[in-house]
Amino acid sequence: MQKNEYIKAKCVDYTHDGLGIVKHEGLPVFVKNMLIDEVGKVKIIKVLKRYAVGRLIELEQSSPFRQEARCPLFKQCGGCHLQHLSPLAQQQFKTKRVQDTLAKIGHCDTQVEPCLMMQEGWFYRNKVQVPVGERNGHLITGFYKQHSNDIVAMDQCFIQNELSNQLIPYTRKLLEEVGEKPFDKVTHQGNIKHILVKYGYYTNQAMLVLITYQRSLCQKDYLVQQLKKRFPQLQTIIQNYNPRHDNVILGEEEMILDGKGYIEDRLLGHTYRISLKSFYQINPQQVEVLYQKAIEFAQLKPTDIVIDAYCGIGTISLSLAQYVKKVYGVEIVEQAIEDAKDNAKRNGVDNIEFYCQDAGEFMVSFAKSHQHVDVVVVDPPRKGCSTLFLNQLLTLSPDKIVYISCDVATQARDIDILQQHDYHVKKCQPVDMFPQSFHIETVVLLSKLKTKKHIDIELHTDELDLTSSESKATYQEIKQYVLDKYGFKVSTLNIAQTKQECGIKERDNYNKPKMENSKQPNCPKEKEDAIKDAFRYFQMI
């Protein structure tokens, strides 16, 4: 294969970050913006030892799952990777990625449930931070071009909350009016580095943060007055002083220009205070889905002792405290633990103790004091758990571990370790917290082997009845596939009949007629063909 060569190729798979993969002369070629089954003319732009990179020049056969990207900056931005995939194709991509990663890195073949998608996957991000630059004498805000310090100007982002789309351009204009200049990374001149917004989806409260290189800020009072007049949602305005020259966005020191320095939001019936440096999940609607799944997986009992490791502002602790005897939450960021303590108090929850500590060290003390724990919920940052944490987790040996992660690769790595020590993955549920992007949140239930409880759970689990082909796609996915591609609806009965036709084994009594001799209409040929096509697509036949 040569650089600059043109090839005609068919896309056969995706990379973990959503690039199409075509095969040429035995080498995978990664092609941006190409979907599975699409055929096109590809120009080879880079050839390396184990793979090549190509550019899609012309699409000759397009996928029924392709959709028009909503954002005009989709190709430049790099923030959304999958906007050109229909919701069903995004769901398949995410589910498969979790399944493949768990198998490859976690050496685990537990069936992954279809990713739980968001109904309207737009305008969901409740936290937005944009760099500030200058063009033609005017301030601009937007995003960094990939692998560069150049800012691409952007006012309307389709995944960030709609308030930010108005608040950020307005703030920028005000800063320009009072004579503020952007910080220049090369000359170290100027002041304004970033504008950051945090938004409480359920409370409509907003926090605005101006991140500056200097301690000074022109006409602070005027800025605050104008901002609050135009945006009454603004509960607090903060100046964060960051004199650093690296890429860390927030500095240590913060000056509260207005309000209390935090906003509030509600999740699953509790109200939370959220400060600037405290982690808060970025998709509030989907996080409720995620937490509910985690609680369902944990099968909590009133006598249970639970550890919520990497607890942030205590949202998981508070969501499950009502079902158990006691919760211990541990988190390393001081501001977050202050929020967590306040959150327990303001919601009248008194069976949680919060600790500001490294999670691994907390587990050491907990294990040393020979305290018993039934369930550990783990929700670490992207890099996953430390070896110290995992070792101590194994020492404490809870019956169940509920592992939540936004990076399935590090999660699978940690799971592999736990699986070598008496734990087994029972359930795995991806949740789409980041629609339009390749990122995925996954909640996994690990149970201890060789305990009676473990056996009980296994015997009662419905999924045991699933055949491997049935588990490849749900009825809903098949229905959606047919509707997307053929434009008509098929019923559960149509699918069940076609499965029977193709020799795909169903669970006993699953979608079978209730009475032995009940009469059912046959599946029309047109529908049968469409369903078989779906089976082929999901590799069930």
Ligand X SMILES: C[S@@+](CC[C@H](N)C(=O)[O-])C[C@H]1O[C@@H](n2cnc3c(N)ncnc32)[C@H](O)[C@@H]1O
For the annotated binding site for S-adenosyl-L-methionine, the residues are 281, 310, 331, 379
| Residue 279 near ligand X by CB under 6 A | yes
Among 267, 336, 344, 443, which residue sits at the site for ligand X (rule: CB under 6 A)?
336
User: One-letter amino acid identity for 192?
Assistant: I
Restricting to residues 14-33, name those near ligand X by CB under 6 A.
none
Tokens found for residue 183: 């910080």
- Told to check if 265 binds ligand X by CB under 6 A, we report no
CB of 397 to ligand X, least distance (A): 20
3-class SS at 197?
strand
Contact between 333 and ligand X per CB under 6 A: yes
Looking at the DSSP bridge assignments, the partners of residue 22 are 11, 29
Q: Does 359 bind ligand X (CB under 6 A)?
A: yes
> What tokens does 277 get?
């440096």
Nearest residue relative to ligand X (C-beta)? 312
Dihedral sign for Cα atoms in the order 425, 429, 434, 436: positive
Least distance (Å) from ligand X to the CB of residue 315? 5
Of the candidates 108, 157, 311, 406, the residue annotated as catalytic is 406
Near ligand X by CB under 6 A: residue from 180, 254, 288, 331: 331
Instruction: Detail the DSSP E strand segments found in 145-242.
Output: 151-153, 192-200, 205-212, 234-241
**Closest CB 185 distance from ligand X, rounded Å:** 26
Residue 116: in which H helix or E strand, if any? none
* E strand or H helix at 275: strand 270-275
Is residue 311 close enough to count as binding ligand X by CB under 6 A? yes
Instruction: Indicate the residue among 254 and 477 with the shorter CB distance to ligand X.
Output: 254
d(CA 336, CA 315): 11
User: Is 358 a residue that touches ligand X (CB under 6 A)?
Assistant: yes
Asked whether position 432 contacts ligand X by CB under 6 A, the answer is no
What is the x/- site pattern for ligand X, positions 365-394, by CB under 6 A? --------------xxx-------------
Query: How many CB atoms sit inside 10 A of residue 14's CB?
Result: 24
Of residues 213 and 310, the one with the C-beta less far from ligand X: 310
332 binds ligand X (CB under 6 A): yes
User: Which CB, 273 or 454, lies closer to ligand X?
Assistant: 273
Closer Cβ to ligand X, 57 or 268, answer by number: 268
Where do we find the tokens 């990713």? 115
What 121-124 contacts at long range (C-beta under 8 Å, 24+ apart), as own/partner pairs, is: 121/87, 121/90, 121/159, 121/432, 121/435, 121/436, 122/70, 122/158, 122/159, 122/435, 122/436, 123/158, 123/159, 123/160, 123/161, 123/162, 124/159, 124/161, 124/282, 124/283, 124/284, 124/285, 124/286, 124/435
Residue with smaller CB distance to ligand X, 407 or 477: 407
Write out the binding residues: 281, 310, 331, 379
Question: Does residue number 338 form part of the binding site for ligand X (CB under 6 A)?
Answer: no
- Determine which helix (DSSP H) or strand (DSSP E) holds 354, and give its type and residue range: strand 352-356
Least distance from C-beta 514 to ligand X, angstroms?
Answer: 43
**Least distance to ligand X from the beta carbon of 284, Å?**
11
Sort 109 into a burial class: Cβ within 10 Å, 0-12 / 13-18 / 19+.
exposed
Between 158 and 438, CB nearer to ligand X = 438
Beta-carbon contacts of 355 under 8 Å, excluding residues fewer than 6 positions away, are 328, 329, 330, 331, 337, 362
Count residues contacting ligand X (CB under 6 A)? 18
Burial string for 470-486 (b: 16+ CB within 10 Å, else e) reads bebbebebbbbbbebbb
108 annotated active-site:
no
We find the least distance from the C-beta atom of residue 309 to ligand X, in angstroms, to be 7
Residues lying near ligand X in the complex (CB under 6 A): 279-281, 310-312, 315-316, 330-333, 336, 358-359, 379-381
Residue positions annotated with a catalytic role? 406
